[in-house]
């Protein structure tokens, strides 16, 4: 981490909190959408979030790959993998985007249905995405990775929406980390 000249200070206020935009009733009525694009556009905020993730992962049991969930999980997940010298497993959100032997799983999202697809393989993985809401996408990634031959060791999310009921991994114990927590109206410490 020294090569990135960033000093991580636990519990420091995150610039990202000020940049994340919240849209009510997007993409459908009743959904509160957190737009992290301003964080990705701001080099300082992006670096801060990136290094928060790397620091938080120092105590996670060893893993071989970061399983990056399409598409926003690809953005920082690949950078974290680079800094931590880990491989990447792509978790695609639409069928037919990966060649070779693969596993596909259908799942329910907060506002619709989806499908995950992963190439067959082995190794220990950390599941990574930008936001965890109801847990449908994360749990589908967990199921898909296991069926494809991987062993999920932990999960990390940039933002956790704590005001929504979230069921992850069918009750299986999996260390789950989030950098920011949003309670529906305010950010939590």
The answer to whether residue 40 is domain-embedded is: no
Annotated catalytic residue 92? no
Q: What is the domain range of residue 157?
A: 60-188
Total-model pTM: 0.90
Segment 15-70, tens digit of pLDDT: 899 999 999 999 889 888 999 999 999 999 999 999 999 999 998 889 999 999 99
For residue 13, name the pLDDT band (cuts at 50, 70, 90).
low
Structural contact between residues 164 and 133, judged by C-beta atoms closer than 8 angstroms: yes
Please give the distance of CA 166 from its chain centroid, rounded to a whole number: 14
Evaluate if residue 171 carries a pLDDT over 80.
no
Query: Is residue 7, in this structure, part of any structural domain at all?
Result: no
Q: Is 13 among the domain residues?
A: no
Based on the residue annotation, tell me whether 110 is a catalytic residue of this protein: yes
Residue 162 lies in a domain: yes
The domain spanning residue 153 has which CATH number? 3.40.50.2020
171 vs 186 pLDDT, higher one = 186
Q: Rounded to an integer, what distance in angstroms lies between the CA atom of residue 85 and that of residue 103? A: 26
What is the tally of structural domains in the chain?
1
Tokens 């010298």 label which residue?
Answer: 85
Catalytic residue among 2, 46, 72, 185: 72
Report the pLDDT averaged over residues 9-18: 70
Helices in 115-173 by DSSP H: which ranges? Answer: 136-148
For 53, how many CA atoms within 13 A lie in the half-sphere containing its CB?
30
Highest mean pLDDT out of 29-33, 139-143, 173-177:
139-143
User: What's the pLDDT score for residue 7?
Assistant: 45
Phi-psi group of 172: left, alpha or beta (phi > 0 → left; psi -120 to 50 → alpha; rest → beta): beta
The answer to whether residue 180 is domain-embedded is yes
3-class secondary structure, 63: coil
* Catalytic position from the list 70, 110, 146, 147: 110
Q: Would 135 be classed as within a structural domain? A: yes
pLDDT tens for 72-131 read: 999 999 999 999 999 999 999 988 999 999 999 998 776 778 899 999 999 999 999 999
């Amino acid at each position: 981490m020294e090569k990135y000249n960033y000093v991580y200070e636990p519990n420091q206020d995150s610039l990202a909190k000020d940049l994340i935009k919240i849209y009510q009733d997007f993409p459908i009525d009743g959904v509160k959408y957190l737009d992290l694009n301003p964080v990705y556009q701001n080099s300082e905020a992006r670096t801060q979030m990136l290094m928060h993730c790397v620091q938080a992962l120092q105590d996670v049991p060893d893993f071989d790959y970061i399983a990056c969930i399409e598409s926003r999980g690809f953005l920082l997940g690949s950078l974290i993998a680079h800094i931590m010298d880990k491989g990447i497993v792509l978790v695609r959100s639409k069928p037919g985007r990966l060649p070779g032997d693969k596993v596909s799983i259908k799942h329910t999202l907060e506002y619709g249905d989806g499908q995950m697809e992963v190439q067959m393989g082995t190794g220990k993985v950390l599941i990574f995405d930008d936001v965890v809401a109801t847990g449908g996408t994360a749990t589908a990634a967990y199921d898909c990775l296991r069926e494809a031959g991987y062993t999920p060791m932990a999960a990390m999310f940039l933002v956790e929406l704590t005001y929504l009921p979230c069921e992850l991994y069918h009750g299986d114990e999996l260390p789950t980390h989030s950098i920011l927590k949003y309670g529906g109206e305010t950010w939590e410490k």
